[in-house]
Structure 1
Amino acid sequence: MFAVWMLFFDSNSLLIHQELNEDVSDLENEKDYYRNEIKKDNKALKELSTEDGIEKMAREKYYMKRENEDIYIIEYEDSLKIKEKNE
């Protein structure tokens, strides 16, 4: 009877410990995810700290251009299919 009480009904039961271990595992996975995101952000900040990095981002992400330049946006066939499905 004591063993059953300790396994299921006690505040330190095996079930509660299992749930807490799952929570700890989830939090550790989340911590790893955010560490990787911080590394990516630090890399992006390092790239943006130079004039070339700023220009590259402006050209690629915001389609900015210099005077007397033309920009051509090439869309591949498979990217067009994705747009059609979403619409």
Structure 2
Amino acid sequence: MKRIVELFSNKYFLVSICFVAWMLFFDRNDLLSQYEYRSQLNKFKNEKAFYIAEIEKVKTDLDELSTNRERLEKFAREKYLMKKDDEDVYVIIREKSETD
């Protein structure tokens, strides 16, 4: 017991405890902030990986559209509802049911 009292009466120990408490809980970069920053960084890394994959997919689609005439025609028909002069285009829109 005497050793604990001596420890708490030591000014260096008290200053060290105050410093650690300040750095862990009250500082601008406390533990909670560091955890939030880390989780936000992981989220951004996942988004970056997703967008890099999407960019690669778009690049391959663009390359294929610029080289393959049939693929370009299919893309134009599906996305922009383009048609030939002697064709009719019917757009079917499905109504959402209550179970969807």
Superposition TM-score, scaled by structure 2 size: 0.61
Aligned partner letter, 1:63? L
1:43 maps onto 2:60 in alignment: yes
Q: How far off is 1:65 after superposition?
A: 2.2
Structure 2: how far apart are the matches of 1:39 and 1:61? 20
Structure 2: how far apart are the matches of 1:65 and 1:74? 12
CA deviation vs aligned residue, 1:14-36 (integer Å, no higher than 9, x gap) = 12211210221121122022112
Instruction: Detail structure 1 runs of 4+ shifted over 3 Å in the superposition.
Output: none
Q: Could you tell me whether the CA contact under 8 Å between 1:48 and 1:54 is conserved in 2?
A: yes
Question: Which of the two has higher C-alpha Rg?
Answer: 2
- Alignment coverage as a number of residue pairs: 80
Aligned partner letter, 1:16? S
Q: Which residue of 2 aligns with 1:64?
A: 82
Aligned partner letter, 2:41? V
Structure 1 stretches of 5 or more lacking a match?
Answer: none
Q: Secondary structure at the match of 1:73?
A: coil
1:14 maps onto 2:20 in alignment: no
Q: How far off is 1:67 after superposition?
A: 3.4
Structure 2: how far apart are the matches of 1:55 and 1:24? 42
What's the C-alpha RMSD, in Å, of the aligned pairs?
2.6
Structure with more contact order per residue of length (Cα contacts < 8 Å, sep ≥ 6): 1
Counting aligned pairs with the same residue, the percent is: 38
1:54 maps onto 2:72 in alignment: yes
